[in-house]
Structure 1
Amino acid sequence: MNCNPTVFKIKQTSLAFFLILSFNAFSQNVNEKIKSFENNLNSWDKTKNKKSTLKERMDFYEVNAVSIAVVKDYKIEWVKAYGFADVSEKKSATTETLFQAASISKSFNSLGVLKLVEEQKLNVDSDINNYLKKWKFPYDSISKGKKITTADLLSHKAGLSVQGFGGYEKGQDLPTITQILDGLKPANSNAVLSVFEPGLKFQYSGGGTTVSQLILEDITGEKYEDYLLKNVLTPLGMTHSSFNQPPFTDKKNLLATGYHGNIEVVGKYHIYPEKAAAGLWTNPTDLAKYIIETQLSLQGKSNKVLSKDMSIKRLENNFGVFTRDFNGTKYFGHSGGNYGFVCHYVGSLEDGNGIVVMTNGNNMKLIEEIVRSIASLNQWKNPPLDSPTKESISLTIKKIANKNIDKGIELYKKLKITKPNDYNFSDKSELNSLGYEFLKNNKIDDAIKIFTLNINEFPNFPNAYDSRGEAYFNKKDYTLSKADYQKVLELEPTNQNAKEMLRKIENILKK
């Protein structure tokens, strides 16, 4: 076909001009969204007259750094970081800053394990002891003759103990994976044991995920972090991410420091040898790549790690993820909380939306506000959020309680009478979290008063008694501690921690 060169050049110039205009319009639109998000975080809530900036909400929730990645139409729309990765060093958070992903690690663990299934090296429905070599799961009468499968481990239906892990300060001896599973020193967690028969019901267990970590290592003969890097992280393009515990020294300048309230975690962060359950260091950009790959794999448009069929099976069975349906719109996601870090990701199954929020704080409420704000700005059809939460009552009374615990409790009671609909009085964990802040700061008597208030508010909440029992134990008031742990077992007979603590108290009282 003949073509007039002059006409062709004019067409090229017009196309370039159109593309520049389109790009500028897109950039302006995104920048306007970001500006709106930063200046009025709660713009979606038409009942509120007062605008709240992101900075104001970060201050209220005592969160030093927030890093965000937004996914739209199966692409990363924007990424931005706010605040300080380390306050004392005045190190600003950037989009490359790495945070502990905590339990989000479980999503990537499931990818690694299911890749072994696709390679026919593992059957998710077979007894886990068929694959475990260095350690065998100690079945007992509680499992009622039923065998635990890898599918049970990935979906938290194995009926196992140990919900989560506290990690280890720098310099502490780190346990081996078998010491962790057996609850032997230097492990600081209890043994992973059956608390009811497998397959019966859901019970979240980081302990069960740690068993799957050992299965993967036993099958592959590789270190967990090496296998995940080669077979999961690298194929996904997650070039900044790693399961190495402790993290590589060459990443030191990228690591965020963890905070509990405004208190810096000793040693900057904890170390988690329980890598599958809590060991991933990453940032929102890398996690957004995982969201997009999952969405495309479900449609058969990409298979960087898993096939379409396996991706569908993964989400249908909640293997390492949690799926929810909000008025016909389906989402997958996971939250995470290590000591000094909380984070969350969520992606839609069908229309290419998603968001990742990572922080070096300990408050999930700010993350909920951020997700709600961005979902509103991007006009998600049915946002993956329950009804809006009310203002945090524990943070509202915290400043006064820090100065005078009794006046803080007085304010709580006053607000419950005068403004019952303005504050979140229904969340059992609010006061519990505040009590733990006092406990970690060695204000044991103040912690006991807050835990007692929580018990009075929620007399059938086992965790409130468990928390006060821990405070009494730290105070060496073993009689009152024993009474609280006995109450825990009365309310929750399978509570493994209460059983362990009662044994520990009995041994102390015998001396």
Structure 2
Amino acid sequence: MKTRLQIGATSCKICFDEYAWSFCVTSKDTTTALKPGAIGKPLVRLGNYPFLALPAFYIIVPLKISKHKIMKIFISTLISLFLIYQASWSQVASTSQKANDLLKEYVQLREVLGVSAGIYKDGKLVWKGGAGHLNPERQKPVNSEMLHRSASITKSMTAVAIMQLYEQKKLRLNDPIQKYLPWFPTKKKGVITVKHLLQNSSGITAYQSRAEARNQKNFPTLRDAINVFKDRELAHKPGTAFRYTTYGYVVLGAIIESVSGMRYRDYMKKNVWDKAGMSHTDVEIYGKKYANKPGLYTKNAKGEFIKDDDTNLSLKIPGGGVQCTAEDLLKFGQAVLDHKLIKASTLDLMMQDPKLPKSWSPYGMGLFLYSGKDAPSGRVIGHNGSQSGTATQLFIFLDKKVVISVMANTGRAWIAVSSLANELGQLVIDAPLQSTVESLWKIIRTKGGKAAEAWLGKSGASFSEGQINNLGYYFFRRGRIQGAIETFKLYVKMYPKSWNAYDSLGEAYLKAGNKALAIQNYRKSIELNPKNTQGIKVLKTLQHK
């Protein structure tokens, strides 16, 4: 936004750049620029409060301009700045109101119990807020300053730390991990490198039981945690497929300790969290009471919020054991954007897509690659997280200079949280975001299956079998059976030759009590795959009832 005032041979131009002010004075005798990057060196940098610049303006104006003209310019400038400030404040207030309303909407939809979130644009905090409650009894509201588990967003932090050591030539990405951890067993299926761990292509398996996923034991060191899985066989040859695993990042944490000579927590605090200004970020200590932290909840099959397991995160600290605030996540994203933690060339390396089989979304090194430079929203990277009592999302819009963070105290709510982050992004980005499974979820959730089908036809969006099936079961496990049915119907339409699509739809109809349609879909599934033993078993049971 620009305003120009002309008084004789003297003019004053005031520019407003969303959240920063600047102006310059021009006469036939001289030009004085009060804007970084304008004529001459920056003389004054105006902050969020334009009136702070007026004394400096009055002093710097050349003496060849009469006092009478100076007073006219001063008064006119004051009025113009007030009008511009009023308009800009209205814009900021509108964004804040819309963002607050979005948070309340997701709470009212009962998708999250409590949520904290924030937006950075051009390196500045545009908005932060919170909605919902710490517990179902509504004893205390959630605000933007709450501590939350960052869950798997910790992986991005760990990856950045590894790449710092790479920049310092203290490790090489293609080195076998035994070079840094000689006690880690070699594997029959191949050599695991540092890069394989970063790309989730090492073949190291994920949790083998509920007891592991919901760990209650304490592991004093990362090596103690690694002992849980280090002797297991790999799922595949390293580097040949994508297999998401938190355990691979625990190994990376141990490599950080080996190479740096520091404990993981100490290294991260000194080289990542403090450098990014993340003053509220730390490893979660099991059993410690935190004054400003909500309880851990999830939803049962009836759609009720219930207490989730208070898990011990010492089994997976570098892959999901860090806690922070929503604004600290913004600061991390901004530090990545500003190359405070790693070089631009290093970030580019992390963003290379290895295009591995079985990847449900493009994944670089510790970062999901949500969209490329040709997308309307430009390049978008980040990470999501989901664990006991927690769902999180971090989006970094590299080309738009925007960072979005959302953190909820609700387990298994990752699609809702990612959808919320998408919508917050649309408030500050002048381009539509990439069509995502989260967009499809929101349409099914609020408008139904027919609207979703129409949106798919119009947008041209496409989803893999895994994505659409996971979305259906996201509804299913959260007690929204009609949403699951609508999703699985879309699955059948997209993949009419998939036996699994009909199997999933049959299960949803069975849960809804529609025996006839359950039988019909299980029959079709078995026709397409005669080896669907579970489907055959269910069908026999239904036919004998």
1:58, distance to aligned residue in structure 2 (A): 2.1
Aligned to 1:287: 329
2:222 maps to which of 160, 177, 189: 177
- Specify whether residues 96 and 391 from structure 1 end up closer, same or farther in structure 2 by C-alpha distance, changes over 3 A only: closer
- Specify whether residues 23 and 234 from structure 1 end up closer, same or farther in structure 2 by C-alpha distance, changes over 3 A only: farther
- Specify whether residues 60 and 216 from structure 1 end up closer, same or farther in structure 2 by C-alpha distance, changes over 3 A only: same
1:389 maps to which of 425, 436, 440: 440
Separation (CA, whole Å) in 1 of partners of 2:164 and 2:176: 18
Aligned to 2:367: 321
Separation (CA, whole Å) in 2 of partners of 1:391 and 1:292: 28
The aligned amino acid for 1:128 is I
- Percent of aligned pairs sharing the same letter: 20
Instruction: Note if contact 2:218-2:312 (Cα within 8 Å) is conserved in structure 1.
Output: no
1:216, distance to aligned residue in structure 2 (A): 1.0
Instruction: Note if contact 2:309-2:388 (Cα within 8 Å) is conserved in structure 1.
Output: no
1:232, distance to aligned residue in structure 2 (A): 0.2
Corresponding residue SS for 1:79: strand
Instruction: Note if contact 2:443-2:451 (Cα within 8 Å) is conserved in structure 1.
Output: no
1:311, distance to aligned residue in structure 2 (A): 2.3
Aligned to 1:3: 63
Aligned to 2:402: 353
Aligned: 1:254 with 2:316: no
Separation (CA, whole Å) in 2 of partners of 1:383 and 1:420: 17
Aligned to 2:122: 73
Separation (CA, whole Å) in 2 of partners of 1:122 and 1:248: 35
Aligned: 1:363 with 2:363: no
The aligned amino acid for 1:136 is F
Separation (CA, whole Å) in 2 of partners of 1:386 and 1:137: 40
The aligned amino acid for 2:427 is L
1:434, distance to aligned residue in structure 2 (A): 6.5
| Correspondence 1:400-479 to 2 at 5 A | 421=453, 427-430=468-471, 432-433=473-474, 460=500
Aligned to 1:137: 185
- Specify whether residues 131 and 10 from structure 1 end up closer, same or farther in structure 2 by C-alpha distance, changes over 3 A only: farther
TM-score by length of 1: 0.68
The aligned amino acid for 1:177 is L
- Specify whether residues 246 and 392 from structure 1 end up closer, same or farther in structure 2 by C-alpha distance, changes over 3 A only: farther
Aligned to 1:34: 96
- Farther-moved stretch of structure 1 (174-183 vs 210-219): 174-183
1:229, distance to aligned residue in structure 2 (A): 0.7
Q: Deviation digits for residues 285-314 of structure 1, max 9, x if unmatched?
A: 1111122222222xxxxx3x2122222222
Aligned: 1:123 with 2:172: yes
Higher relative contact order (CA 8 A, sep 6+): 1
Instruction: Note if contact 2:326-2:407 (Cα within 8 Å) is conserved in structure 1.
Output: yes
Aligned to 2:242: 202
Aligned to 2:196: 152
Instruction: Note if contact 1:69-1:79 (Cα within 8 Å) is conserved in structure 2.
Output: yes
- Farther-moved stretch of structure 1 (383-392 vs 227-236): 383-392
Aligned to 1:51: none
The aligned amino acid for 1:292 is Q
- Specify whether residues 131 and 423 from structure 1 end up closer, same or farther in structure 2 by C-alpha distance, changes over 3 A only: same
Q: Deviation digits for residues 332-358 of structure 1, max 9, x if unmatched?
A: 111100111111111222221231111
Instruction: Note if contact 1:175-1:273 (Cα within 8 Å) is conserved in structure 2.
Output: no
1:179, distance to aligned residue in structure 2 (A): 4.0
- Specify whether residues 26 and 198 from structure 1 end up closer, same or farther in structure 2 by C-alpha distance, changes over 3 A only: same
Corresponding residue SS for 1:235: helix
Aligned to 2:278: 238
The aligned amino acid for 2:144 is T
1:161 maps to which of 192, 205, 230: 205
2:316 maps to which of 274, 287, 301: 274
Aligned to 1:310: 346
1:430, distance to aligned residue in structure 2 (A): 4.9
Instruction: Note if contact 2:100-2:130 (Cα within 8 Å) is conserved in structure 1.
Output: no
Structure 1: gaps spanning 5 or more residues: 42-53, 185-189, 298-302, 397-414, 439-445, 468-489, 492-511
- Farther-moved stretch of structure 1 (354-363 vs 306-315): 306-315
Corresponding residue SS for 2:275: coil
The aligned amino acid for 2:368 is F
1:270, distance to aligned residue in structure 2 (A): 4.7
- Specify whether residues 199 and 175 from structure 1 end up closer, same or farther in structure 2 by C-alpha distance, changes over 3 A only: same
- Specify whether residues 359 and 175 from structure 1 end up closer, same or farther in structure 2 by C-alpha distance, changes over 3 A only: same
Corresponding residue SS for 1:86: coil
Structure 2: gaps spanning 5 or more residues: 1-59, 354-363, 457-464, 493-497, 508-530, 533-545
Q: Work out the number of aligned pairs and report it.
A: 405
Instruction: Note if contact 1:241-1:281 (Cα within 8 Å) is conserved in structure 2.
Output: yes
- Specify whether residues 71 and 84 from structure 1 end up closer, same or farther in structure 2 by C-alpha distance, changes over 3 A only: same
RMSD, aligned α-carbons: 4.1
Q: Determine which structure has more spread, i.e. the larger CA radius of gyration.
A: 2
